[in-house]
Chains A and B, each alone.
Chain A
Amino acid sequence: MTSLYEEIPAAPPADVPTRRVTITVNGDRRTLDIEPRLLLSHLIRQGLQLTGTHMGCDTTGCGTCTVLLNGRPVKSCTVLAVQADGREVETVEGLSSAQQLHPLQEGFKQEHGLQCGYCTPGMMMAAKALLERNPNPTEDEVRWALSGNICRCTGYQNIVKAVLWAADKMREQEG
């Protein structure tokens, strides 16, 4: 039996009323016909096949589905895709280029900021928004910025270290 998630088709059936939306995802402008009830997370994962964004809790609690909507972290399982019309969405796939990891990705590697990795995409997107606003955060500020993201493996220590590592690296690159 397939899960409910997999029942969401990439294109809705012809008899279902749809809305046309234009959403910029990781810099690519996409125009799509979608059902109003489609969650942004389902659009990203099923519709656009960007499976880096994870879904964990289905109750707006865990934060692994975090993406940036017009630069601000939001839980994509709790945003209707139609509400992203005309806006910019950034997912974890937008972090790296083909040749180079983003400093956050490098930081999670260097500092062992993950074990199972399920929460990691949400952690990195929440951290990216923090570092764009505050390039030199304190440990406390990192913890507050990640307070909407739950990790069941690490105890958070190495995630915080990874974000601070990335902050150092990004300041070096800037400087």
Chain B
Amino acid sequence: MIPVAFDYTKPSTVDEAVQALIAGGEDAKVISGGQSLMPVLRLRMAAPSVLVDVGGIAEMNGVSDDGDHLLIGSNTTHHDVMNNALVKQHAGLLAMTAATVADPQIRHRGTLGGSLAHADPAGDLPTAALALECVMVAQGPKGRREIAAKDFFVDYFTSALESDEVLVAIKVPKMGDGWGYHYEKFNRTAQAWATVGVAAAVKRQNGTITEARVALTNMGPSPIRASSVESALAGASASADAIAAASTSAADGTRPTSDLHATAEFREHLARVLTKRAVAQAAGV
């Protein structure tokens, strides 16, 4: 299919991009790699009047070390995220999760910022961002603001970004010593959208789990932390039995839908099984 006609502008700074969004009003849309937006445009599920291509904004590309966190420009592709030495060293969960997104072609174009802003409940990277407690840096007419991951994913395909805001960068807190991580996903092979996914990060000390973070993909309108699993794991022994016991509450408080890939009941089952696997891998059990 062919998208509905639109105007196109390619600003070279974030300020210019915000101006273009203000001028374009609510029908303006940001594009970068376009791997989520293009299919939507082609199916004519969206018909923006103008596309603001932020792909040429140098400031929004690349990974830098910023003290206790990494600063990843929104335009950084999944391919670059998963192969970046700093990300692998300090935020391995993000690199590992990026490697499960779609396929090589899409990872060469699709961007971290685009994937987060798209807020697809079946998207993998929002879940990793939630588990890593990332902070989104957005710029709009009133300047820059920071949005915690837990407040960023609002609803189905809805982020906290305003229509005249650009997601500029993502702050990713460095995982210190003692942390292990794993992203476990159940999906159909083609296209690789998660039926359910689980991101786990676990801190171990002398055979005990001191802190655990567990976030779930596609168990509701937006990624969600499995807080009852997290509290059951805190202070538990890093053993298969303790992890299995804690994982039984993985679906508590979730709101999965039934669709052609899985029923809600099956998704709840998957959440429990995948949580057990992800936490065990993360804890090195």
Contact = CB atoms under 8 A, between A and B. Distances in A.
Contacts of A148: 102-106
Contacts of A145: 104
Closest 3 pairs (CB-CB, A-B): A148-B103, A36-B8, A72-B108
A58 B104 contact: no
B34 A73 contact: no
Interface in A126-148: 126, 144-145, 147-148
20 contacts: A7-B2, A17-B7, A37-B3, A37-B41, A39-B2, A42-B2, A60-B38, A61-B191, A69-B108, A72-B108, A74-B109, A77-B38, A78-B35, A79-B34, A80-B8, A82-B10, A83-B34, A147-B103, A147-B104, A149-B103
B103 A80 contact: no
Contacts, number: 85
Interface in A55-69: 58-61, 63, 66, 69
Interface in A67-114: 69, 72-75, 77-80, 82-83
A63 to B, nearest CB: 6
Contacts of A83: 34, 53, 55
Contacts of B266: none
Nearest to B32: A83
B2 A63 contact: no
A141 to B, nearest CB: 11
A148 B105 CA distance: 6
B5 A16 contact: yes
Contacts of A8: 2
Given A37-B3, A150-B190, A78 B39 contact: yes
Given A36-B7, A59-B39, A80 B105 contact: no
A103 B26 CA distance: 51
Interface of A: 4, 7-8, 16-17, 19, 35-37, 39, 42, 58-61, 63, 66, 69, 72-75, 77-80, 82-83, 126, 144-145, 147-150
Contacts of A78: 34-35, 38-39, 106, 109
Given A37-B5, A61-B191, A126 B51 contact: no
Contacts of B10: 82
B42 interface: yes
Interface in B1-45: 1-8, 10, 31, 34-35, 38-39, 41-43
Given A74-B108, A150-B190, A82 B8 contact: yes
A75 B106 contact: yes
Q: Which of B6, B43, B104 has the most CB of A within 10 A?
A: B104
Contact of B105 (A35, A37, A74): A74
Contacts of A77: 38, 42
Nearest to A71: B108
A70 B224 CA distance: 38
A60 B106 contact: yes
B49 to A, nearest CB: 11
